[in-house]
Structure 1
Amino acid sequence: MKIEIPQSISFSEYTKLPYYPEDILEYFGYKLEKRAIAHEKGEIPPGTTALSERIKAYLPYVSLTSEIGKREFLIAPVLIELALSTQVQIRPEYPVKVSEQLRGSLDYLLTRNKQFIVIEAKDDNLQKGFVQLAVELIAVATAEDKQLLRGAVSIGTVWQFAVLDRENSVLTQDLNLYRVPNDLEEVMQILSGGLE
């Protein structure tokens, strides 16, 4: 289906468009696949169990009604623990501009060994967050000339991963959802594995 996307639009504005993710991806020349992804898994950072217990302990006392709250109390602690053990660089609010239709700020860009992972934080809607993540992955893959790029969308307590295969013009949305703090070890393994 042919869709019309404004000539000038930021990443976050894609969540307001009335189109399905498949149609937006097709506009940029990509196909959407939805399936379970067999992620390459890395090491579990040593502080993961302690972090999981800390999150369980403070969750009853933190109001998580905004994207900022989820970013500060659920997503950032995970990324900091990952950085402490893997020396990944965390670049919050990272600006990207490939064109007027591929521009904006990434919530988090993780980099290590010339590998990248894009993290999109959302308030409560994973599907809208996935649309934004998809466009961000296309932009970063284009800007950095990457053939394979990983990303994740998170509402803090739930994470969903994606893989962009630029060579085959396919974006795969993982059907698996990972809960934090319960599945924190797996989230850490997927993040560290994607940066090796």
Structure 2
Amino acid sequence: MTDNMQAMAAMTRAPILDPAGSYTFSKYAELPFDTADILAEFDVSLKNASLQLPQRLPIDSKSLEIELQENLTLVDPASEIARREALIFPILKTVCKFMQAPLKIEYPVRVNPRLKGTFDYFIPTPQSLVVIEAKNADLAKGFTQLAVELIALDQWTSSPVPILYGTVTTGDTWKFGLFERQARVVHKDINAYAVPNDLNRVLGILFGITLSIPEEGA
């Protein structure tokens, strides 16, 4: 199918969301539709790529690695609460503590009835970061939710940064994405990183995003 034919098909496709309906962010992870089709409802496209994400590692991560390994020996991260307490929160706390930045938990955002809910975690630095925990440890569905939250953040924030970043995690696996605001494209990283094995990589990306000086001109 040519690009023109795909564009025509998209134009004639029936809406999959109720225009008068009300949707929370977490609801999008429950819908049976393809991520690209859901994003098309917001005039946003989806691209899969090996992303070249910002990276910086301004700390020695050894103590955090030991803490995570100890947590995993003490706690079975089978439940969402266990994953949050044992893996996700210690990593994000480390980032925010170094930066002296707040860590917003269950942060409420409302743009309109189709874009509302809470960000599981939100780090409001000049180059802010949205972090969500994949419900039922489903990264694919979790990324759909993350993508919609980035679309909401685009409309909600007054920041002029051209790119918005986010990550979805099960605690032991992290996947990143970004939203090109002007082009209206969500990019999904085809790579995933394991914790604690890839801890330096995950920390490096988290610091790289939140410590970067954003370019204006969205």
* TM-score higher than 0.5: yes
TM band (smaller chain): over 0.9
Larger radius of gyration: 2
Task: Give the TM-score, by structure 2 length.
Answer: 0.85
CA distance in 2: counterparts of 1:71 and 1:141, whole angstroms: 26
Which contiguous aligned blocks of 4+ residues in structure 1 show a shift greater than 3 angstroms?
none
2:149 maps to what in 1?
136
- State the number of aligned residues: 194
Q: Whose RCO is larger (CA < 8 A, sep 6+)?
A: 1
Q: Alignment identity in percent?
A: 35
1:117 maps to what in 2?
129
Residue correspondence of structure 1 range 47-86 to structure 2 within 5 A: 48-86=61-99
CA distance in 1: counterparts of 2:53 and 2:29, whole angstroms: 26
CA distance in 2: counterparts of 1:57 and 1:141, whole angstroms: 38
Deviations 1:67-125 (A, max 9, x none): 1211111000001111121223210000000000000000000122x221000112410
Deviations 1:137-164 (A, max 9, x none): 1001111145310000000000000010
> What amino acid sits opposite 1:167 in the alignment?
Q
Secondary structure of the corresponding residue to residue 153 of structure 1: strand
Task: Give the TM-score, by structure 1 length.
Answer: 0.94
Question: How much does 1:58 deviate?
Answer: 2.6
Residue correspondence of structure 1 range 36-47 to structure 2 within 5 A: 36-46=50-60
> What amino acid sits opposite 1:168 in the alignment?
A
* Structure 2 unaligned blocks of 5 or more: 1-12, 213-218
1:91 to 83, 104, 109: 104
State the Cα RMSD in Å.
1.3
CA distance in 2: counterparts of 1:119 and 1:42, whole angstroms: 18
1:3 to 6, 15, 28: 15
> What amino acid sits opposite 1:149 in the alignment?
L
CA distance in 1: counterparts of 2:167 and 2:88, whole angstroms: 11
